[in-house]
Amino acid sequence: MKQHRGHLGSKQRAVISDMFKNGLAEHETLEKHNIRPCRYRKWLENGMFRQEIDARIDAAMRQSKLIMVRWLPLAAERLAQLTISEKDETARKACLDIISLHIPETEQKAAQNAQTMQAKEIKPLPPEIASKLLAALAKKNPETEPRTLVSGLEIQKNPC
């Protein structure tokens, strides 16, 4: 195949067309056009071929977002209607979905991380550290008076 600088070859255009217009998967397209994977990788290293693929991907993403934005009001309305469903579980899930849609991603991740940390078992302190902590807690501050709790534990009363 003869390839000129500054534009794509006919086989490269056919491969791109089959992947984006005809909906073939990458491996299907390569088989159809008898393109070896190593040759395809070289094409991807070529700036023009990669730019064309990237431009097609960007266009597809933009089209998808436009479709989503167009249907978002209807989807939001239907989700809101589900919150008053006769089925409790459906209403509960719809409420949770609405709440989660309005929590920023960072807060959602932080909440998930907190739940994960709570789910993990707390490891016991080594005996040496536990005894040092107890000894430090047992030292009495001369400015405070001890007070006994209902449970029988003694705590320090703050003079302030």
- CA–CA–CA angle 90, 99, 79 (5° rounding): 45
- pLDDT category at 101 given cuts 50, 70, 90 is confident
User: What average pLDDT score do residues 139-159 get?
Assistant: 51
| Whether the model pTM is above 0.85 | no
Q: How far apart are CA 26 and CA 46, in angstroms?
A: 17
Q: Give the tens place of pLDDT for each residue, 59-74.
A: 999 999 999 999 988 8
Per-domain residue ranges for the chain? 10-75
Token pair listed for 103? 């929590």
Token pair listed for 156? 């320090």
User: What average pLDDT score do residues 7-20 get?
Assistant: 91
56 vs 4 pLDDT, higher one: 56
